[in-house]
Structure 1
Amino acid sequence: MWATLLHMVSELQRRKTALVFTAMDVDSDGFLEREDFAALTERWTDHRGLAPDSPEAAGLSGIMMGWWKTLLAASDVDRDRKVTVEEVLLVVDRLAADTTPVVATATAMFAAIDADGDGRISAAEYRELIETWNGVPTDTDEVFAELDLDGDGYLSEAEFVELWTEFWAGDDPNAAGTWVFGRFELPLFV
């Protein structure tokens, strides 16, 4: 069944999805589970130096665990409370026709990334996001400059929603949103 449905997902979309899936699969078991999102939340709150019982940590947890619930409801085809990359690709295949779910996720993620609540994402806040996903220090200066569509040194919510939507629903290797989670090797034929 999956092979038939996945033929519509391009190689670029597969690579983008695999990049994020691998980063989010904290225990590297090939599945996204509640525990992976809890570990990412803990990594993020630790990175920010937040006390586990602080309102800020609770806010991050709410956003991340909300994303988990949304992903589980949309992707868990066999209802085993685990999500495979193939199940995520089924959702990606449908996003071009209806970007509503990805826009909602973008708005929530923007709030989580905007650590100081000033209504924009700085280069440092973006770096924190990528390092949280990757779990390692990462140079993001070049990518951030490409993502900053208006060149003002920040990502506005509108810019971020556009970039996030392009990443998940788009199929253009030249679009800035392709790189929202960092650089990766493009497929040979895109």
Structure 2
Amino acid sequence: MASDLQRRKLTTVFAAMDADADGYLTESDFEALTNRWLTLRGAPDPALSEVMMGWWATLLAASDQNRDNKVTFDEVLAVVDVLPTMKAAVHGTADAMFTAADANDDGKVSSDEYRQMIEAWRGIPTDTDTIFPLLDDDGDGELSRSEFRELWYEFWAGDNASAPGTLAFGPLA
């Protein structure tokens, strides 16, 4: 059973992904999310498009219990309940997001790349200047793939309000 914190985290992300605010996640919501990200990048990026639409396919396969090609909040919540036992799978999605966020392909996510990722997900300008230093475990000004994986895992599978990963998608609603 999801905790209040896990519900708050998921509410923040679900609301951001539900582009048409109809209460369901659909392929068109992920197309809108992909387009927001590409607009922020200012250029076509087939690899980014593939990652984002692949994420939709993964979410649909894991969550859509009644196979209606829509994912409800409760369906996502049911998957979140089992994620603590699926660390490798969560790291796999983290790696895909890391690749998408690493705009200059240098193997690190800078504070600007992180802000761009958050603004793409949320669909609104977001001040990440106070959050990024909390996420940057070693204080080098960038997130390594391993740092990103652990933050991603903590967001999706963790239940510790003071863990930096709780803020991986920006401030909670």
Q: TM-score, normalised by structure 1?
A: 0.89
Judge which range, 59-68 or 91-100, deviates more.
Answer: 91-100
- Give 1:65's aligned residue: 53
- Give 2:137's aligned residue: 149
- Give 2:23's aligned residue: 30
Percent sequence identity is 58
CA contact (8 A) 2:115 2:128 kept: yes
- Give 2:88's aligned residue: 100
The amino acid of 1:84's aligned partner reads T
Residue 48 (str. 1) matches residue 36 (str. 2)? no
Displaced runs of 4 or more, over 3 A: none
- Give 1:124's aligned residue: 112
Q: What is the rounded CA distance, in whole Å, between the counterparts of 1:100 and 1:26 in structure 2?
A: 29
How far apart are 1:105 and its partner, in Å? Answer: 0.3
SS at match of 1:96: helix
CA RMSD of aligned residues (A): 0.8
Aligned partner of 2:152 among 142, 156, 164: 164
- Give 1:136's aligned residue: 124
Query: What residue ranges of structure 1 are gaps of 5+ in the alignment?
Result: 1-7, 52-56, 186-190
- Give 2:77's aligned residue: 89
How far apart are 1:144 and its partner, in Å? Answer: 0.3
Q: What is the rounded CA distance, in whole Å, between the counterparts of 1:149 and 1:109 in structure 2?
A: 18
- Give 1:112's aligned residue: 100
Aligned partner of 1:21 among 7, 11, 14: 14
How far apart are 1:133 and its partner, in Å? Answer: 1.4
CA contact (8 A) 2:13 2:122 kept: no
1:122-171 per-position Cα deviation (integer Å, ceiling 9, x unaligned): 00000001111122211101100100000000000000000000000000
- Give 1:5's aligned residue: none
How far apart are 1:100 and its partner, in Å? Answer: 2.2
Query: What residue ranges of structure 2 are gaps of 5+ in the alignment?
Result: none
Q: TM-score, normalised by structure 2?
A: 0.98
